[in-house]
Amino acid sequence: MLSNASRFLAGAMILGCLAVAPNQAHAQAYPARPIRLVIPYAPGGPTDILGRAVANKLGELLGQQVVVENRAGVSAILGTEFVAKAAPDGYTLLLADINHAVNPGLYKSLPYDSRNDFTPIGLIASASLALVVNASLPARSVQELIALAKSQPGKLSYGSAGAGNLTHLAPELFKVKYGLDILHVPYKGAGPALTDLVAGQTSFVIMGLSATKAFIDSGKLRALAISGDRRARSIPDLPTFAEAGVPLPEMKVGSWWGLAGPARLPREIVVKLNRSLAQTLLAPEVRARLEALNIDAMQSSPEAFADWLSAQADTWAEVMRRAKITLE
């Protein structure tokens, strides 16, 4: 006969198996219907183009369509909030970018907690930023630009795609790091900022190559350096900031993107999505699309992505604190 203790242990084992079985079955069945990938920006931009390229291949590998849904507004806050409040079942995901780490330090309040209301799944890609000047500016290196700015405090200016945008924060990091007095001129998008830079209305921008390379190739603008720890394949003669003698380790990369879901996403689903995402980023057609956008694949584990998000949030919060940048 079984003792009371033996009966208790046997019962606990049975209950444990019954509890685990549904989770395993759920993971094996997932996904059983189309997945929604929320892109918190309007269609047509780099984030949207990247998201659609990834969604197509990811859906193919998962055996279910990954449907892109654009929910633009307020520096990605609207779409991000939507995902934060979605059910943690793996059917609503977020294409997060650097604003996910920047916004907590930029805005006094947010309708979600960037660190605790999401489940990191994996990094997707990164893109370097180039410091680009008007071709007539008498500075042919970053060190010469710094010297010029210091000799004319408040005279030089940089354009951005909008207040709080990475194209605003990166130059502010540059200014704070090297003690420069340079005027910020915000625009409604990268296009107008580059138009005025070409016309000589501003001195420089720090933006992605996807936006600036055509102007660099035409000779209308001159690139002085690029973020990151290696040179861009498309402009191999362009030095990194470190190689130019002006290191910016805080800006290890420029733009970046990753996949996340709501908090409490089941571990089995996270693992399945991460593995499928890694396969997606190895696909030749996806890599070719990223290369055409001057974007580099950047896969990671969920844990590494979580650490990345935390480090990025801390870095940019300090930049904004020192530059006294806040938005309502």
User: How many domains would you assign to the chain?
Assistant: 2
**Helices 267-282, 284-292: inter-axial angle, 10-degree rounding:** 70
- The answer on pLDDT for 266 being more than 90 is yes
**162 and 244 within one domain:** yes
Q: Is residue 12 part of a domain?
A: no
Mean pLDDT of the chain: 89
**135 and 122 within one domain:** no
* Residue bearing the bigger pLDDT, 327 or 31: 31
**292 and 221 within one domain:** no
Q: Which of 251, 266, 299 is the last residue of a domain?
A: 251
* Residue bearing the bigger pLDDT, 158 or 42: 158
Q: Which of 231, 251, 271 is the last residue of a domain?
A: 251
Q: Is residue 148 part of a domain?
A: yes
**239 and 164 within one domain:** yes
- The answer on pLDDT for 25 being more than 70 is no
The whole-number average pLDDT for the span 42-68 is 93
Q: Is residue 271 part of a domain?
A: yes
Interval 56-80: pLDDT, tens: 999 999 999 999 999 988 888 999 9
Please tell me the pTM assigned to this model.
0.81
Q: Which domain holds residue 63?
A: 33-127+253-323
* Residue bearing the bigger pLDDT, 10 or 269: 269
Name residues whose C-beta falls within 8 Å of residue 208's C-beta, 6 or more positions apart in sequence: 46, 127, 128, 129, 130, 254, 255, 294
Question: What pLDDT, on the 0 to 100 scale, is given for residue 9?
Answer: 39
CATH number of the domain bearing residue 105: 3.40.190.150
- The answer on pLDDT for 87 being more than 50 is yes
CATH number of the domain bearing residue 163: 3.40.190.10
**246 and 135 within one domain:** yes
Q: Is residue 309 part of a domain?
A: yes
Question: What pLDDT, on the 0 to 100 scale, is given for residue 265?
Answer: 98
**274 and 240 within one domain:** no
Interval 122-135: pLDDT, tens: 999 999 999 999 99
Compute the Cα dihedral for 298, 310, 251, 197 and give only its sign. Answer: positive
Interval 212-253: pLDDT, tens: 999 999 999 999 999 988 898 889 999 999 999 999 887 777
**47 and 116 within one domain:** yes
Q: Is residue 100 part of a domain?
A: yes
Interval 114-163: pLDDT, tens: 999 999 999 999 999 999 999 999 999 999 999 999 999 999 999 998 88
**293 and 259 within one domain:** yes
Question: What pLDDT, on the 0 to 100 scale, is given for residue 27?
Answer: 54
CA dihedral 183, 241, 291, 283 (to 10 degrees): -120
Identify the top-confidence range among 7-11, 70-74, 324-328. Answer: 70-74
The whole-number average pLDDT for the span 303-328 is 87
Confidence of residue 28 (pLDDT cuts 50, 70, 90): low
Query: Exposed/middle/buried for 66, CB within 10 Å: 0-12, 13-18, 19+?
Result: buried
**70 and 113 within one domain:** yes
**Helices 267-282, 46-62: inter-axial angle, 10-degree rounding:** 110
Q: Does residue 231 come out as left (phi exceeding 0), alpha (psi in the -120 to 50 range) or beta? A: beta
Question: What pLDDT, on the 0 to 100 scale, is given for residue 72?
Answer: 87
Q: Is residue 14 part of a domain?
A: no
**244 and 144 within one domain:** yes
**210 and 68 within one domain:** no
Identify the top-confidence range among 25-34, 46-55, 297-306. Answer: 297-306
Tokens 């605003």 locate to 168
Q: Is residue 264 part of a domain?
A: yes
Q: Which of 221, 251, 281 is the last residue of a domain?
A: 251
Q: Is residue 8 part of a domain?
A: no
Question: What pLDDT, on the 0 to 100 scale, is given for residue 26?
Answer: 52
